[in-house]
């Protein structure tokens, strides 16, 4: 199958097209590869694909180049740059969301309100506790977690607990909770713990974030739990680096925020990890990975809403880009507590269509089409990775994203596979690898 890569460059009002062809065809100026009308591209004698936008074919510019690193038998690439039709460009500017603040989350609280079940994305088995009846599921109180934009406002305007003038962290949110009502009645037993006031009762059952869902632990109390012990040597280094960058903390309070172990939450049917459980303030909470669960809507549709790992990570990245103007990210494994990839954002909302080269991917791999984040990345096997990772972590303009170790490995695999969809000369830039993630 013929490989191709098509990207809509709205800022340049162009469509950039690359099509793989035999080296002899590129030298002879073969007419097999050409635009057909204003909406189609012929990539071989019997294959025509639709373009993402309407173009002006008369103004198209055509060129060719060879991949010098792949040997004399390698194929060449035809490049066609063609302007977007004026009417189509106007419509795209009116309809397409160019601002990060206008890009919707893959899953919101309103989309799953009234859900009938939460299931494992791998085997579709129910994850909710048996005691959670149908009536209880219909009345679950679901809200969206405050976004990174809200966190930015909190950092600027709210008096922080523990003299934290840098960040408000999830494990410190309990400091903002209403205090337990204390009775002054002398007839009450002074040794008995006071009952919580109505203000302290949890008014929400689930909070939906960008990469995870927070929920009351009782909803998933029947699921198996597995203790996981982290590398204490690595953890001590992480604490030291954090202390160096957040010197407003006392050493004791800082170390108390890092734990040497955590508890994974697993699917009872397939044993896949779906999240973790732990204490947040005075509450036992479950933290479910969005890319590992699905939300089943009630009858008659019984449809399931889920997101891929790529979509979840992309949304987390876009939140930080929009709120903090941060474009560099360190991806780490949850258990290993070590960086596995460095990601630099170079663009978002890019409309891309592509098919892999048959020599690098199986023939049954589907074509890709959609909107993506464009990135540069470096992974662990790079010779300069450790040095570069240390430099990035020391920089306040870098965000850290922690994933399950298996998800971190899967993310690297996705980035590597997507990089293969690019024409060979375009795969590298600034000693990093170019790739993209689905939004």
Between 158 and 375, the more confident residue is: 375
> Could you say which DSSP state residue 262 is in?
E
Among the residue ranges 201-205, 279-283, 318-322, 383-387, the one predicted with the least confidence is: 201-205
Cβ atoms of 315 and 401 closer than 8 Å: no
**How far apart (Å, rounded) are the C-alpha atoms in residues 302 and 352?**
31
pLDDT higher than threshold 70 for residue 214: yes
Cβ atoms of 120 and 270 closer than 8 Å: yes
**How far apart (Å, rounded) are the C-alpha atoms in residues 375 and 411?**
13
pLDDT at 210: 86
How far is residue 166 CA from its own chain's centroid? Answer: 24
Cα angle value 282/110/317 (rounded, 5°): 75
Among the residue ranges 87-91, 279-283, 354-358, the one predicted with the least confidence is: 279-283
Q: What's the rounded mean pLDDT across residues 15-23?
A: 88
pLDDT at 43: 85
Winning range, highest mean pLDDT, from 92-96, 123-127, 158-162: 123-127
Pairing of strands 14-21, 428-429: unpaired
How large a percentage of the chain has pLDDT more than 90? 37
Cβ atoms of 398 and 357 closer than 8 Å: no
pTM of the complete model: 0.79
Among the residue ranges 135-144, 204-213, 240-249, the one predicted with the least confidence is: 240-249
Query: 227-243 in b/e burial notation, b at 16+ Cβ within 10 A?
Result: eeebeeeebeebeeebe
Cis, peptide link before residue 300, omega less than 30° from 0: yes
Winning range, highest mean pLDDT, from 101-110, 129-138, 200-209, 317-326: 317-326
pLDDT at 189: 53
Between 214 and 176, the more confident residue is: 214
pLDDT at 363: 53
pLDDT at 166: 45
- Angle, to 10 degrees, between the axis of helix 148-157 and the axis of helix 309-324? 30
Q: What's the rounded mean pLDDT across residues 200-218?
A: 79
Query: Of 35, 10, 31, which is closest to residue 21 (Cα–Cα)?
Result: 31
Share the mean pLDDT of the chain: 79
Cβ atoms of 48 and 62 closer than 8 Å: no
pLDDT at 367: 84
pLDDT higher than threshold 80 for residue 438: yes
- Write the CB contacts of 194 (distance below 8 Å, at least 6 apart in sequence): 180, 181, 182, 183
Q: What's the rounded mean pLDDT across residues 359-363?
A: 54
Alpha-helix runs per DSSP H in 246-308: 251-255
Domains observed in the chain: 1-96 (2.60.40), 109-178+199-306 (no CATH), 308-439 (no CATH)
Q: What's the rounded mean pLDDT across residues 96-113?
A: 77
Cβ atoms of 420 and 433 closer than 8 Å: no
Query: 174-185 in b/e burial notation, b at 16+ Cβ within 10 A?
Result: eeeeeeeeeeee
| Number of Cβ atoms within 10 Å of the Cβ of 392 | 20
pLDDT at 106: 81
pLDDT higher than threshold 70 for residue 138: no
Rounded to the nearest 10 degrees, how much is the dihedral formed by the CA atoms of 235, 236, 240, 246? 50
**How far apart (Å, rounded) are the C-alpha atoms in residues 206 and 288?**
10
First to last CA, the chain: 26
- Write the CB contacts of 177 (distance below 8 Å, at least 6 apart in sequence): 200, 281, 282
pLDDT-derived band at 156 (thresholds 50, 70, 90) equals: low
């Amino acid at each position: 199958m013929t490989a191709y890569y098509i990207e809509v460059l709205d800022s340049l009002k162009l469509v950039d097209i690359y099509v793989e062809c035999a080296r002899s065809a590129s030298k002879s100026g073969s007419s097999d590869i050409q635009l057909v009308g204003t909406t189609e591209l012929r990539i071989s004698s019997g294959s025509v694909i639709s373009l993402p936008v309407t173009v002006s074919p008369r103004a198209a510019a055509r060129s060719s180049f060879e991949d010098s690193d792949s040997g004399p038998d390698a194929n060449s690439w035809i490049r066609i740059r063609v302007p977007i039709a004026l009417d189509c460009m106007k419509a795209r500017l009116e309809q397409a969301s160019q601002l990060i603040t206008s890009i919707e989350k893959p899953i919101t609280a309103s989309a799953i309100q009234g859900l009938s079940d939460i299931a494992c994305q791998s085997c579709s088995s129910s994850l909710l506790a048996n005691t959670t009846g149908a009536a209880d599921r219909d009345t679950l109180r679901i809200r969206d977690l405050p976004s990174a934009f809200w966190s930015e406002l909190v950092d600027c305007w709210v008096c922080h607990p523990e003299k934290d003038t840098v960040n408000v962290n999830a494990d410190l949110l309990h400091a903002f909770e209403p205090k337990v009502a204390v009775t002054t009645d002398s007839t009450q037993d002074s040794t008995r713990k006071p009952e919580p006031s109505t203000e302290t009762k949890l008014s929400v059952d689930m909070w939906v974030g960008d990469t995870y869902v927070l929920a009351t632990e009782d909803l998933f109390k029947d699921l198996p739990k597995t203790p996981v012990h982290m590398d204490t040597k690595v953890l001590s280094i992480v604490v030291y680096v954090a202390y160096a960058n957040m010197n407003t903390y006392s050493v004791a309070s800082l170390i108390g925020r890092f734990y040497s172990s955590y508890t994974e939450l697993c699917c009872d049917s397939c044993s896949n990890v779906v999240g973790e459980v732990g204490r947040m303030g005075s509450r036992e909470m479950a933290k479910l990975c969005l890319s590992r669960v699905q939300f089943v809507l009630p009858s008659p549709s019984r449809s399931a809403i889920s997101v891929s790992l790529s979509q979840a990570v992309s949304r987390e990245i876009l939140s930080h880009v929009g709120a903090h103007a941060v474009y560099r990210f360190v991806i780490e494994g949850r258990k290993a507590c070590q960086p596995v990839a460095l990601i630099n954002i170079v663009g978002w909302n890019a409309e891309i269509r592509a098919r892999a080269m048959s020599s690098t991917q199986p023939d049954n791999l589907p074509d890709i089409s959609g909107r993506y984040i464009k990135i540069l990345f470096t992974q662990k096997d790079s010779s300069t990775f450790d040095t570069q990772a240390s430099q990035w972590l020391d920089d306040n303009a870098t965000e850290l994203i922690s994933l399950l170790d298996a998800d971190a490995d899967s993310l690297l695999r996705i980035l590597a596979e997507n990089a293969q969809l690019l024409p060979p000369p375009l795969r590298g830039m600034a000693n990093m690898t170019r790739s993209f993630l689905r939004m």
